[in-house]
Amino acid sequence: MTVASAVPASPVVTVENLGKVFRPPGGTRELLRGRLWRDPVRALEDVSFTVAPGEIVCMMGPNGAGKSTLARILGGLLVPSSGRATIAGHDAAAGAPALRRSVSFVVGDERSFHYGVSGRENLRFFAALHGMGAAAIRRRTDELLERVGLAAAADRRYREYSRGMRQRLAVARGLLGDPEVLLLDEPTLGLDPVGARDLRVFLRDDMIRAAGRTAIVCSNDPTEARALADRVLFLEGGRLTREVSPDRIEAELGL
Amino acid sequence: MRTAAPPLPGPVTWFVRVLAAFVRRELVAMSGYRAAFATRLAGFAFVVVGLVFFARFVGASANPHMAAYGGNYLGFVAIGFLATELQQVGIAGLARRVRTSQIMGTLEAELATPAPAWMVLGGAPVYEFGTAALRSALYLWAATVFVGLELPRANMLTVVVAVPLVLAAFIGLGLLTAGSTMLVRRTNPVSAILGSLSFFVSGVVYPVSVLPGWLQRAGSVLPLTHVLVVLRGAFLMGASPAAVSGSLTALAVFAAVLIPLGAATFAYALRRARVDGSLTHY
């Protein structure tokens, strides 16, 4: 299934016939059978869609549908087995620094920060990986901590942060390089309903709409999709099966 | 609204910034673990004091094998241990960095930044190597001040010539083991084997002259053997660069072979990891 953006502008994200097959290395059982690899796992198959500038597209699907694999390919962290994906004109498969400046992969995984240092120090570290000098690092991290509402807690150790604060810090990290496209993988995972609602409003209104960004949100939460997305694409078994409008999600899912 | 992105810095400036970020983060983190630091320091002190008594015991026997080192067993064994630690950091530093970052979960977030993967993965081991070299120098200084280690004839010119070659040889080994660790997806047994083999045949705690000829020849294919010849020659016997030129040349050859080979293995492993997704799994 190919899903094109309804917005008449040249797309900022283009995915064409994307496929990904993993070949897990074999264990003792496979080796005894004379095989080096387990059976291949088809994570994505023939996925095509486009996203127009300023759009928020939610990628929904059950666990194991291929959402995170797709996000990692678009973020330049994984090479597709077939097909092609471009973001702001950069080939995702090349994974070049120019691609990773245009797109920011915001992982909700709270283990992705150093627990022993403060939120500010964590952010400064990642700012250096963006190539910023000392003055730019100070300016940018202070600005982002203020914007995500963590300025007062910036010097507390990361391990002392609540789940919501950790998610906000992950968002701040994603904005360090001022990317054109945000890839948000389960951005409100594990948050309480009020915290999740507040973070969604903040992301949609301040971080995406007001900044003129484009976003792809991977989630299996209908509330999240309805709150954030302009369009919802369904991935099932690695295939793009349908597109629905956000207000029809529950009906589509039979909820 | 978004602003126009500033141009990316050149690779050298960028790497220096990444390195500085690793140093800063590790120092800040370490300041929060003062007890661990104190424990490590105490552990080292116990080892040094133990070596002092061991050196007295060995020195009292006027061992003829030690004549080539001025009979200074404390200096001999201290340099042996420090060089071994440097080798272990070199061999295991990058591999451990990959494993630890995978397990901690920081690696994926770091690789998602614009910084090239070699910069992200290279920053931490360079920091570890730098601190290990600095620690070694401090240990030697402390041993001379507090436990009577005598290095009156040290030839610093030889040390200055040797240190870059020593680091280059060990970094080459490190790249090779890290690349193979990524390919086999588990802690590489090569580093453990190489570590114990070097301890055995390179002469860490005894001179290689006590080994049979064939084991001495086997030891000559290991970088640590030559590192020990050069550093002990320089520190204990005041050897000039010309006096240890054979081992300096061997270290240069190790560096010239191991660095390109290690870099190629590491680059291949990185490409494979982006294909099979193993860099962010454990």
Give tens-digit pLDDT for A194-249: 888 988 998 899 889 998 999 999 998 899 999 999 999 999 999 999 998 888 88
Q: What is the pLDDT of residue A154?
A: 95
CA distance B269 to chain A (A): 13
pLDDT at residue number A141: 95
B89, B226, B281 from B97: Cα distances, Å: 11, 27, 14
**Amino acid B188: pLDDT:** 65
Q: What is the pLDDT of residue A15?
A: 96
- Which range of residues forms the domain containing residue B43? 13-280
Ordered structural domains, chain A, with CATH: 2-253 (3.40.50.300)
Does residue B117 contact residue B107 with C-beta atoms inside 8 Å?
no
Q: Please list every residue in chain A whose beta carbon sits closer than 8 Å to the beta carbon of residue B17.
A: 128, 131-133
- Determine the Cα–Cα distance for residues B189 and B198; give it in Å rounded to an integer: 14
- Residues B168-189 have pLDDT tens digits of 898 888 888 888 877 776 666 6
Between strands A214-219 and A56-60, the pairing is parallel
The pair phi, psi for residue A185, each rounded to 5°, is -100, 110
Examine the pLDDT at B68 and tell me if it is beyond 70.
yes
Q: Which of B121-125, B135-139, B244-248 tops mean pLDDT?
A: B244-248
A16, A69, A61: which is closest to A41 by C-alpha?
A69
Nearest to B75 by CA among B135, B140, B138, B132: B140
List, as one string, the DSSP characters of B133-166: HHHHHHHHHHHHHHS----TT--HHHHHHHHHHH
Write b or e for each residue in B50-85: b if 16 or more Cβ atoms lie within 10 A of its Cβ, otherwise e: ebbeebeebeeeeeeebeebbebbbbbbbbbbbbbe
- Look up tokens 């300025």; give the residue: A151
Q: What's the whole-number mean pLDDT along residues B77-90? A: 86
A158 falls in which pLDDT band (50, 70, 90)?
A: very high
With cut-offs at 50, 70 and 90, classify the pLDDT of residue A44: very high
- In 10 A of CB B135, how many CB atoms? 16
Sequential DSSP letters for B160-200:
HHHHHHHHHHHHHHHHHHHHHHHHHTS--HHHHHHHHHHHH
Q: What is the pTM of this model?
A: 0.82
Domain assignment present for B6: no
How many interface pairs between A and B have CB atoms less than 8 angstroms apart? 119
Burial category of B205 from C-beta neighbours within 10 Å (exposed 0-12, middle 13-18, buried 19 and up) = middle
Per DSSP (E only), the strands in A132-205 are 181-185
Q: Cβ contacts (< 8 Å) between A79 and chain B: which residues?
A: 274-275
Contact B274 A79 (CB under 8 A): yes
- Taking CA–CA distances from A105, the nearest residue in chain B reads B112
Whether B5 is covered by a domain: the verdict is: no
Chain B residues with beta carbon closer than 8 angstroms to that of A125? 21-22, 24-25
Q: Is residue B3 a part of any domain in this protein?
A: no
- Mean pLDDT over residues B155-166, rounded? 91
Per the prediction, chain B carries an average pLDDT of: 83
| Contacts with B13 from chain A: Cβ below 8 Å | 131
Contact A117 B116 (CB under 8 A): no
CB contact under 8 A, A178 and B25: no
The pLDDT value given to residue A1: 57
B2 occurs within a structural domain: no
Q: Specify if B4 maps to a domain.
A: no
Average pLDDT over residues B202-216: 90
Nearest to B81 by CA among B55, B56, B47, B53: B47
Number of domains chain B contains: 1
Residue A177: which of B5, B18, B279 has the nearest Cβ?
B5
- For A136-140, B58-62, B100-104, B123-127, which range has the lowest pLDDT when averaged over its residues? B58-62
In this predicted complex, what is the ipTM? Answer: 0.84
- Tell me the per-residue pLDDT of A11-34, one tens digit each, with 9 for 90 and over: 999 999 999 999 887 778 878 888
